[in-house]
Amino acid sequence: MNAAEREQTESEIRALAERADAMAAVSLALGAYGAEILGYLLAVLRDELRAEDVYSDFAEDVVRGMPGFRFQSSIRTWLYTLARHACARHLSREKKRRMVALSAAPEVFDVAQGARTPTPPHARTAAREGIERLRKSLRPDDQTLLILRIDRDMAWIDIARILAGPDSSVDEEDLRGRSAKLRKRFERLKERLREMAHEEHIFGENEDA
């Protein structure tokens, strides 16, 4: 979807919402952006079933939230905000389940802790595959930042809104400040990926990330 098509879609969704036809607005929004949202979840979670489960939670959030959405951002930005929040909830639940399971068997916990040591580098792969693997090793929010900026080409102000969270009330000045910090964080992430790539010999001597 190009910029003009996206603008037209956003206008149609807003018109439906303003006519209080929330379900039609939800249907159009998910039809327009659902595939890229699911792609984002797959990139972060790296498991189709988990991504689909989170997508279901996300879709429920969209249905509940659409009647109260005030269009202070684009629908696309809002959807990514909800998707990130649904993903974070899922990861938090998973972490709690793992900790309960491990604490119930101390010997298993000890083995799991001992397994957290650096693994030998894999055989060299294509540079693109290697960088993708390194990106997947980052924290979910760092992956989100890279996906939104590099893969989705989002504006910094929209990325700031998404990472602020669906329940955050931030004004434009605050968003500009957050945007500046995110740009710096983005540059640090790129530098970190370059360093990781060279440590794992993903690039040749004359290549760079």
Q: Where are the domains of the chain?
A: 1-116, 118-209
> What's the pLDDT band for 65 if we cut at 50, 70, 90?
very high
The pLDDT value given to residue 169: 66
Residue 20 contacts by C-beta under 8 Å, 6 or more apart in sequence? 67
Q: Higher pLDDT residue, 137 or 185?
A: 185
Q: Higher pLDDT residue, 144 or 120?
A: 144
The pLDDT value given to residue 203: 56
Would you say residue 12 has pLDDT above 60? yes
The sign one gets for the Cα dihedral 194, 95, 36, 144 is: negative
Report residue 49 as tokens: 């079933």
Closest C-alpha to 138, from 43, 4, 71: 43
The pLDDT value given to residue 166: 66
User: How much is the pTM?
Assistant: 0.69
CATH architecture of 1-116: Orthogonal Bundle (1.10)
The pLDDT value given to residue 204: 53
Between 48-65 and 22-45, two packed helices, what is the crossing angle to 10 degrees? 150
The answer to whether 24 and 16 have CB atoms below 8 angstroms apart is yes
Would you say residue 122 has pLDDT above 60? no
CA R_g for the chain: 20
